[in-house]
Amino acid sequence: MTLEILTHDALTPLRHGFFTRKGGASSGIFSGLNCGHGSSDQTEAVAINRERVAAALGVQPPSMIGVHQVHSADVVTVTRPMATSIRADALVTATPGLALTVLTADCQPVLFADAEAGVIGAAHAGWRGTLLGVLEATLAAMEALGARRENIAAVIGPAISQRAYEVGPEFLDEFMGVDPGYSRFFSGGHGDRAHFDLPGFGLYRLREAGVRHAEWIRHCTYTDAERFYSYRRSVLRHEADYGRLISAIRL
């Protein structure tokens, strides 16, 4: 099966993509393009999937760079191929030939580009990382490489939508403790539950930070099981594990 790669005009002409689960070698609950070495999927299947992604990006697998994601605001500046054991949640580079990648299964994958300056970034932005400032930290790291904030485009890929993201009162309290104005990103749920708008919050933080062009690609990982992996869906189905989607951008 052919790979399905979602792209956005704001990031062109740079080669990039939010890869769906279609076109992969994994089977069972991982069926499709599972690119997560941290999953319990067969190592060989994940390697084949990542090779297919690298080929689609026009790079060799060692030039497809990722990090060990920990829901932080930490950013790594990449100048050459490196191991994925570095603990961080975003990467930036101005080195041609490198592809920056993040893995997600409901969290926001965010791809950044200042095509004029030749600087790119990629961030894994779950609710905690976004609240801690991973998006703003990525922008600052890109500026350190010569990007200009007003020239940066940022696109949020497939992520869990508000209608599918029900949270408890302690979740809401954590946001209110930072800024009561964040209540705008919550809507009523059943009882004391609420629904959180993760992509809306991400877009708000990007635009407040001065990004010229910030958009969400408007695909929900939870509601579209044929195309996307979802951690939350796997938990509700009592599945043993879940696949990881890959998003990438290269110079």
Q: What is the pLDDT of residues 238-251, one digit of tens each?
A: 999 999 999 999 99
Boundaries of every domain in the chain: 5-161+197-250
pLDDT value for 23? 96
234: pLDDT strictly greater than 70: yes
- Residue 106 pLDDT greater than 70, yes or no: yes
To the nearest whole number, what is the mean pLDDT of the chain?
A: 96
Residue 82 has pLDDT above 90, yes or no: no
The stretch 175-189 carries a mean pLDDT of: 94
pLDDT at 85: 82
pTM over 0.85: yes
**187-209: pLDDT as tens digits:** 987 888 999 999 999 999 999 99
18 compared with 83, residue with greater pLDDT? 18
| Span 115-147, pLDDT tens digits | 999 999 999 999 999 999 999 999 999 999 999
pLDDT (0 to 100) of residue 161: 98
Identify the CATH assignment for 5-161+197-250 out of 3.40.50.150, 1.20.1280.290, 3.40.190.10, 3.60.140.10.
3.60.140.10
Are 156 and 146 contacting, i.e. CB atoms less than 8 angstroms apart? no
Per-residue confidence band for 160, with pLDDT thresholds at 50, 70 and 90: very high
Q: What is the 3-state secondary structure (H, E, C) of the chain?
A: CCCCEECCHHHCCCCEEEECCCCCCECHHHCECCCCCCCCCCHHHHHHHHHHHHHHHCCCHHHEECCECCCCCCEEEECCCCCCCCECCEEEECCCCCEEEEEECCCEEEEEEECCCCEEEEEEECHHHHHHCHHHHHHHHHHHCCCCHHHCEEEECCECCHHHCEECHHHHHHHHHHCHHHHHHEEECCCCCEEECHHHHHHHHHHHCCCCEEEECCCECCCCCCCCCCHHHHHHCCCCCCCCEEEEEEC
Tell me: pLDDT of 212 over 90: no
Check residue 1 and give its pLDDT.
67
